[in-house]
Amino acid sequence: MKDQHDNKTVDWCRSQHAVAQGEKMIVVLSHMLSKSGKSSVADVLALVGGTKRSVQRYLDQLTQAGYVQRDDASPAGFTATNKTKQLFGVKA
C-alpha cells in the first residue's frame, strides 16, 4: 500500500539531509529579505554554521539558482532577488 501524503509537510521526504538543506535555505533567504542592505559570508556563517568555504559554496549555489545576487565588492555581499521575493510573497 502506498503512503498517503499531503505534500504540505516534509513527511514525504526520506532524506533528512534534503530537509536540513531546505530549512537552511529558508533561514538564509528569509534573513536576507528582512535585512536592509547586503549579507556577507560571515552573516550567513553565523546563521547556519559550518565552515567559511562551505557557506561560500552554498551561496554560490543560491546565486546560480537565481535566489540571491552577488555584488562585485570585496568582501562579497549578497542580496535576495525578485525570485526569492516571489517565493516568500514579498512585493518586488
Q: What is the pTM of this model?
A: 0.79
At 4-31, the pLDDT tens digits run: 655 555 555 567 777 888 899 999 999 9
User: 6: buried, middle or exposed (CB in 10 Å: 19+, 13-18, 0-12)?
Assistant: exposed
Please give the Cα distance from 66 to 11 (Å, whole number): 27
Confidence (pLDDT) at 1 = 46
Q: What is the pLDDT of residue 15?
A: 76
Domain boundaries, the chain: 13-87
Q: What is the pLDDT of residues 52-76, one digit of tens each?
A: 999 999 999 999 999 999 999 999 9
Cα angle, residue 26 at apex, residues 67 and 6 outer, rounded to 5°: 110
Residue range 13-87 forms a domain whose CATH class is: mainly alpha
